[in-house]
Structure 1
Amino acid sequence: MARSSDIAKADESVMKPPHRSVSMPKVAAASFAGAVLEWYDFFLFGTASALIFGPLFFPATNAAASTGAAFATFGVGFIARPLGGIFFGHLGDKLGRKVTLIATLLITGTGTFLIGLLPTYASIGIWAPIGLVILRLVQGFGLGGEYGGAALLTIEHAAPNRRGFWGSLPQASAATGLLIGTVIFDLMSRLPRNDFLDWGWRVPFLLSVVMLAIGVFIRLNVLETPDFEHTRQTDQVTRVPLFSLLAQQPLNTLYATGARLAETVSFNIIAVFGITYVTNVVGVSRSVPLRGIMISSLVAIPLCPLFGLLSDRWGRRTLYLVGCVCSFVLALPFFALLDTGSPGLILVAMVIIYSLAPTLMFSVEATFFAELFHVNVRYTGLSVAYQLSAVIGGFVPLVALYLLTADAKSPWMVAALLMAISVISFLSACLATRVDK
């Protein structure tokens, strides 16, 4: 296990790696391309859980029980993410960012493609939901290592005064993946219902193989980050990054985990639970929330680099705290607008809160969190903090469904949950200590 002095020296030495000429657009493209696929894969499952997986894989006597089972499977993927974060964080801090990112891409993409081939409950009975759970675990395990590596691939190549901007570009891949997945799923859902249930829902999952091939090709042609190369050349790679992280930086790990909760919870309430609420409770056509997610994603793509650019001027923590405040303030108006049943107001609600809460926080959090950890445990620290919070966020749609049922289909307890989480994240972000000056 590395000693505190070793880690401090490693951080100090790696902070000034040898200058190396590199094309930042090429690095950003490599990070972005692979991350788009992984977010496409993961978010696609969320949309399918809200609309189709219930009747296909979890037939039940009532729609609520069927949807609840689908949401539980959606949450299972988040259980696997911390395991993937620890495993690939270890590889990323030991072997390098590049090789680890290729592995995560292959694992997640394969899991998604196989979901598109999976027989339903009507064909193979109980083995269908079992297979779906296993493949969801595969997805989650792969994505667990993607977030930290994709962010570091750009952040560690970038100049210190431009890290916010370049670090925000891989974050824009999340909105891009969500947009592509939602558009394709929406197109398929317009098929005659029997065709959609029979084969249409499979198309978005099978198409992931195309993006997988593109992502692997691009990532094979990018250099390892100078920070990691310098760490390896100076023999500062720690033996067990997780042990070193927990021994030397337990509080920052805890604070980063708490800070991220508002981002993941607000996103899942909007993009997963919100679709079900608007469709099944408010009684609006499913095309309305799907259109809302598409517009929100389209808006978020340019907002990510804009917020990243602002963070280079005003600071990551400042923008992140603003996002926490927006998550708190907009929770009640969000559901009030959904309850109007007006398609226009529903779209406004989804776009505004998506842009000012999860998008604002997500744009800057990779760089914000990366600067909380020493270089030789950074991949592990970033992955662990992000994925531990993801476990809680992943089960929010299921918890929200329970709160909705307990409160006679009233959304106000769900709004109160989001507000409470926002306070926790605000305090955590205030307490986190930056070590990367």
Structure 2
Amino acid sequence: MTQRSQNERRALLGAFIGNSLEWFDFFVFGTAAALVFPRVFFPEVDPAVGLLAAFATLWVGFLTRPLGGFIFGHFGDRFGRKNVLIVTLLIMGTSTVLIGALPTFAQVGLLAPALLVILRAFQGLAVGGEWGGAVLIATENAGEKRKSLAGAWVQQGSPVGSLLATGSFALVGLLPDEQFFSWGWRVPFLASVVLIVVGLILRLRVPESDEFLASREDHAPTKAPALLVFTKAPLVLLLGILVSVISIANAYFTNTFLLAWATGPLGIERQAILNLLIGAAFVQFFVQWAAGHAAERWGRDRVILVSLGFTLLAVAPFFVAITSGNLLLIAVSLYLVIAGISAYFAVLATFLAFAFPAQFRYSGLSLAYQICSSLIGGSTALLAQWILTSSGNNPWAVAAYYATLVMLSIIGALGLARVNRKRAMSEAAATSGVAATSGVAATSEVAAAAEEDRRR
């Protein structure tokens, strides 16, 4: 095995495992917000208000994600991806363990939810810098023909993290309610201390990104790379925000809002819906693997647009099944929606990352994804619950909201595909002009640009 192949494998494994652990920490909060926090941290208000308060606390983590993207994107573009990813892992893991050790409202009053909000803010700060760095260190170390697949494997961190979070709550959920609400819910949070050690060992072995090192040789470090995103690529940033909408919103619609809705007004048993969500994580994992291969063959644009179109068509059957209360129908329709979202999500990382130049790619990728998280994705559970409550428990009002989120991502995908295609053609023409004095070299460069455009 060559040194390059070895570096590529280490980068991919480190990015995948580290990202899985970070998403576990982030998702475990969302599961607890639906099942535990209203009772433990907001016990003196109406249950519906307590649930809204818990979802608002969940949103705090999304509000700080753009700040994390800005800060860690700055350092990642100036000094490299590897060290930044070690720092984000430590911040996330420490915050999660401390949440598991928090006193309850009954013990310290308002101090308990205040501390919960602060620690959630640090979780958001960490994941704001984590995702973009993990995507880049894997895709930038991958060979040109394996970038989409590398990005898809990093995205596997989401279903694995979801599976670990939901699975851990499914296990402690077997406890009697008294034990579950007194100490059982803390176990998944406290277990994160083990994951921190595993993640650190892997992250320390990850090589720095090849493309970042090459970029440093060609260009001096930019003093404020995050600001260049707004001055040099504002349209790409806007389209990147739009295309990311449903990728973030869907996770918290299903793992948080749907979990609370199903176990509350719809009267579905807690363990049954948790089992369905575990199954959804498996569906996501295998569909994303297949989508990564499909993108290498047919192009990122096609995979993203076809999968989003399929998801939009599946929205109505999904809500018919939810309101029927039939677990089999709910499972089938949920897994169809998850399949559509997963195929798109698998390709999104690479599709979005290479829309930005290497000099400020970490900042651009992180800001696009994390601004979307803050403005749209992170409010999903809160807004869906508010829409359901204010509409008199009308499921079709929530369905319209969900369909709108999918359509926003379609608009962003169409726009970004067009921008990327124009840029690829412009770069190919420029390369052809520079190399015109050596016809063979020019033909080779244009052919390479054309091949990259096809994979887009």
2:44 aligns with 60
Alignment of 1:70-149 (within 5 A): 70-149=54-133
C-alpha displacement at 1:204, in angstroms?
0.2
- Paired letter, 2:311: S
Query: Any idea what the Cα deviations from partners look like across 1:102-125, whole Å, max 9, x if unmatched?
Result: 011000011001000000101000
C-alpha displacement at 1:62, in angstroms?
2.0
C-alpha displacement at 1:237, in angstroms?
2.3
Alpha-carbon distance change, 44 to 365 in structure 1, aligned in 2, over 3 angstroms: same
Query: How many angstroms apart in 1 are the aligned matches of 2:326 and 2:44?
Result: 31
- Say whether residues 1:29 and 2:49 are aligned partners: no
- Say whether residues 1:41 and 2:18 are aligned partners: no
Contact 1:189 1:196 in 2 (8 A): yes
- Say whether residues 1:217 and 2:205 are aligned partners: no
Alignment of 1:38-437 (within 5 A): 38-357=22-341, 359-391=342-374, 392-432=376-416, 433-434=419-420, 435=423, 437=452
Q: Structure 2: which 5+ residue stretches go unaligned?
A: 425-451
C-alpha displacement at 1:21, in angstroms?
5.0
Query: How many angstroms apart in 1 are the aligned matches of 2:152 and 2:244?
Result: 15
Contact 2:66 2:128 in 1 (8 A): yes
Which stretch of the first structure deviates more once superposed, 367-376 or 239-248? 239-248
Query: How many angstroms apart in 2 are the aligned matches of 1:99 and 1:23?
Result: 16
Query: How many angstroms apart in 2 are the aligned matches of 1:285 and 1:430?
Result: 41
Contact 1:262 1:324 in 2 (8 A): no
C-alpha displacement at 1:130, in angstroms?
0.2
C-alpha displacement at 1:350, in angstroms?
2.1
Query: How many angstroms apart in 2 are the aligned matches of 1:64 and 1:226?
Result: 51
Query: How many angstroms apart in 2 are the aligned matches of 1:21 and 1:325?
Result: 36
Which stretch of the first structure deviates more once superposed, 316-325 or 210-219? 316-325
C-alpha displacement at 1:267, in angstroms?
2.6
Contact 2:7 2:206 in 1 (8 A): no
SS of residue in 2 equivalent to 1:395: helix
Contact 1:82 1:144 in 2 (8 A): yes
Query: How many angstroms apart in 1 are the aligned matches of 2:354 and 2:241?
Result: 14
Contact 1:236 1:376 in 2 (8 A): no
Query: How many angstroms apart in 1 are the aligned matches of 2:170 and 2:149?
Result: 32
C-alpha displacement at 1:159, in angstroms?
1.2
- Paired letter, 1:157: N
Query: Any idea what the Cα deviations from partners look like across 1:286-336, whole Å, max 9, x if unmatched?
Result: 112211110010121222221111111111121111232133222221111
2:428 aligns with none
- Paired letter, 2:167: V
SS of residue in 2 equivalent to 1:22: helix
Contact 1:267 1:354 in 2 (8 A): no
| TM-score using structure 2 length | 0.89
Query: How many angstroms apart in 1 are the aligned matches of 2:119 and 2:104?
Result: 14
C-alpha displacement at 1:395, in angstroms?
0.9
1:4 aligns with none
Query: Any idea what the Cα deviations from partners look like across 1:329-362, whole Å, max 9, x if unmatched?
Result: 22221111011111222222222211212x1221
Query: Any idea what the Cα deviations from partners look like across 1:184-209, whole Å, max 9, x if unmatched?
Result: 11110110111111110000000011
Query: How many angstroms apart in 1 are the aligned matches of 2:38 and 2:216?
Result: 48
Query: How many angstroms apart in 2 are the aligned matches of 1:235 and 1:372?
Result: 18
Q: Structure 1: which 5+ residue stretches go unaligned?
A: 1-18
Alpha-carbon distance change, 298 to 94 in structure 1, aligned in 2, over 3 angstroms: same
C-alpha displacement at 1:20, in angstroms?
4.3
Query: How many angstroms apart in 2 are the aligned matches of 1:266 and 1:114?
Result: 27
| RMSD, aligned CA | 1.3
Q: % of aligned pairs identical?
A: 38
Query: Any idea what the Cα deviations from partners look like across 1:5-38, whole Å, max 9, x if unmatched?
Result: xxxxxxxxxxxxxx94534332211111111111
